[in-house]
Amino acid sequence: MLFRRVALGTILASLACGVLGTPLTAQPAPRETAAQKDARMAWWRDAQFGMFIHWGAYSVPGGVFHGERVGGIGEWIMNSSKVPIPEYEQFARAFNPTKYDAEQWVRTAKDAGMKYIIITSKHHDGFALFDSKVSKYDAVDAAAYHKDALKALAEAAHRQGMKFGVYYSIMDWHHPDAQAPSTPNYNSRDFKNPNFNRYVETYMKPQLKELLTQYPAIDVLWFDGEWVADWSDEQGRQLYDWLRAIKPGLIINNRVGHSRAGMQGMSKNPDAPGDFGTPEQEVPAIGLPGVDWETCMTMNDTWGFKSFDDGWKDTRTLLRTMIDAASKGGNFLLNVGPTPLGEIPAESVARLREMGKWMRENGESIYATSASPVAAPAWGRYTSKPGKVYAHVFDWPKDHKLALTGLTAKPKAAYLLADKKPLAVEQVGEGFVVTLPNVAPSSIASVVVVEMQ
C-alpha cells in the first residue's frame, strides 16, 4: 500500500477545514445573465464534436487479469476482478507510455474534425495522469513514466488551438477517505464513508484547483462517478460555484451534481448544478430545446483500452450518430482508449480519418448549427442555421425526388453541399420536393442545403 500515505499537506488542509466534515463553503458564483451564459457556452455549442480519452493505469492490463480476459468495460477491471489495491498499484507502477505523442493525438482529433478534447485526469481507480501535490498516486510519482502526461496534452492542444478539458471521477476506489467500506466491491451506491468530506476538502478540491490553476488550457470539467451515496446535489452546487469562482469561463457537466437520470443523462432535478446533460451511449429520442447536452460514446465496447475488444462500430454508424445528435441540438463526444504504450488504436485512427474526410466536405452542416426545426424525416436528419436547413440524406431516394418532409415555408434555393450545384425545388401539395442527381455524393450522408426565404 505504497501510495496511500496521505501527504502532510493534506493533514494541514484538513485542519484548515476546521471540524472534519464541514466543507469550506465557497461564495456562490455570481449568478450570470442568460446572455453571459450564452457567451460562455458559445464555443462549446458551436464545436459540436469532441474527442473523449480514457487512459490510465487500467490501460496496462488491457482487460486481462491473471491471464484471464475480464468482461465489461476495461477501465473497471479493478472492480470487475476485485483487484486488491497493492496488486492494482502494480499497474500504476508499470504505466510507461514510451510511444506517447501528445502532438500526434491532437492532430488525429483535429484531422477528424473534432474541436475539443476531454481526457481522464483521474478515473474511478484514483490514479492521476497529472502531477498532483496532494497525491503520490500519479503518473509522476507512482509510474515508471515519471512525467506529467496530462500537461503534455494540454500544451499540445493549446498549441494547436484545440479546446481542452478534463474528466475527473468523484468516486475514488483508492483513497481511504473515499473508498466504499464494501471494498474490494469498490463500486457502491449505498454505503457512505464517514471521512468522505475530508477526501473532498483535502484531496479532491485541491486536485481540482491544481488542474484549474496549473493547466491554463482547461476549458471544461467533465465529472463522473457522482452516484456514490456520499455525494449530493447540494455538494455539487457548492463545488460548481467554487470552481466557477476560480475559473469564471469554465464549463462543467451535470455530473457535478447527484441527480442524473442514469444513461439518459439529464438531471432529474431542474435546479441541479451543471451546464450540460450527459447522455451516455445513446442519443435522446427527440431534441431538448433550450437544453445543452452532449452524448458520449465508445467506438467499440469499452472506454479504456482492452487488447481483445473488437466490437468496433463502423464509420457510418459513428457519423450518423453525430448527425443525429446535432439534429437534436446536442454535441457528440467520441471516445478513444489508448494503449499502455500511448498509441490510439489503429481501428480508432482509421474511423477518425474517415470521419475527418466527411467533416472537411460537410462540416458547415454540423458546426454552429441548431436543432432541426421539425421532426426527423424518414430518409435522414435536418440541422439548421438562420436562413438555412441542412438535409442530411442517409437513404438516397430511388426516384431521386427528396420530399422536404415537415418544411412548410417555400425554399429559396437548394444545392448539394458537395458541389454547390443548384437543384430544382418544386411545390407538391403542401410540401416541397428537391430533384436530386442520380448518384449520392456520400454513402453515409449526403447534405442538401435548403436556403429559406
- Contact with ligand FHN (CB under 6 A) among 47, 53, 73, 436: 73
Q: Which of 131, 224, 294, 309 binds ligand FHN (CB under 6 A)?
A: 224
Q: How far is the CB of 123 from ligand FHN (least distance, A)?
A: 6
Q: Binding segment for ligand FHN among 2-10, 73-81, 355-363, 379-387 (CB under 6 A)? A: 73-81
Stretch that binds ligand FHN, among 70-78, 191-199, 349-357, 380-388 (CB under 6 A): 70-78
Whether residue 83 contacts residue 77, with contact meaning beta carbons closer than 8 Å, is answered with yes
- Give least dist CB 178 to ligand FHN, A: 15
SS3 (DSSP) at 447: strand
Measured distance CA(402)–CA(425) in Å, rounded: 9
Identity of the residue, 113 or 225, whose beta carbon is nearer to ligand FHN in the bound complex: 225
Q: Which residues, listed in sequence order, are joined to residue 385 by a DSSP beta bridge? A: 388
Q: Give the nearest distance from C-beta 116 to ligand FHN in angstroms.
A: 15
446 contacts 320 by C-beta, under 8 angstroms: no
> Closest approach of Cβ 121 to ligand FHN, in Å?
12
Comparison of 73 and 336: residue with beta carbon closer to ligand FHN = 73
Q: Is the dihedral of CA 201, 206, 208, 213 positive or negative?
A: positive
Note whether 226 binds ligand FHN by CB under 6 A.
Answer: no
- What does the per-residue mask of binding to ligand FHN show for 252-291, with x meaning CB under 6 A? ----------------------------x-----------
Please, are residues 411 and 451 in contact by the beta-carbon 8 Å criterion? yes
Looking up cell 464509420 gives 315
Among 119, 170, 208, 296, binds ligand FHN (CB under 6 A): 296
CA distance 106 to 51: 9
- Can residue 106 be called a binding residue for ligand FHN (CB under 6 A)? no
d(CA 445, CA 27) in angstroms, rounded, equals 48
The span of 68-76, 129-137, 204-212, 341-349 binding ligand FHN (CB under 6 A) equals 68-76
Stretch that binds ligand FHN, among 23-31, 72-80, 144-152, 347-355 (CB under 6 A): 72-80
What CA–CA distance (Å, rounded) separates 146 from 151? 12
CB nearer to ligand FHN: pick between 173 and 215: 173
- Smallest distance from the beta carbon of 228 to ligand FHN, in angstroms? 11
Cα gap 268→282, rounded to integer Å: 17
Q: How far is the CB of 281 from ligand FHN (least distance, A)?
A: 8
* Cβ distance to ligand FHN smaller for residue 279 or 441: 279
What is the rounded radius of gyration, in angstroms, for the C-alpha atoms of the chain?
Answer: 23
Compose the 301-320 pattern: x for residues touching ligand FHN by CB under 6 A, - for all others: --x-----------------
| Burial group, residue 5, by CB count within 10 angstroms (0-12, 13-18, 19+) | exposed
With CB under 6 A as the rule, give the number of residues binding ligand FHN. 7
Counting DSSP H helices and E strands in the chain, the numbers are 11, 16
Strands 251-252 and 68-69 turn out to be unpaired
Instruction: Tell me how far apart the alpha carbons of residues 82 and 70 are, in angstroms, rounded to a whole number.
Output: 11
CA dihedral sign, ordered 310, 316, 318, 321: negative
Which parts of 117-156 interact with ligand FHN (CB under 6 A)? none
Segment interacting with ligand FHN, rule: CB under 6 A, options 71-79, 85-93, 343-351, 442-450: 71-79
Torsion-angle region of residue 27: left (phi > 0), alpha (psi -120 to 50) or beta? beta
Q: How many CB atoms lie within 10 A of CB 386?
A: 6
Per CB under 6 A, 75 contacts ligand FHN: yes
Residue nearer to ligand FHN on the CB measure, 206 or 225: 225
Helix (H, G, I), strand (E, B) or coil at 50: strand
Residue ranges in contact with ligand FHN by CB under 6 A? 73, 75-76, 224, 280, 296, 303
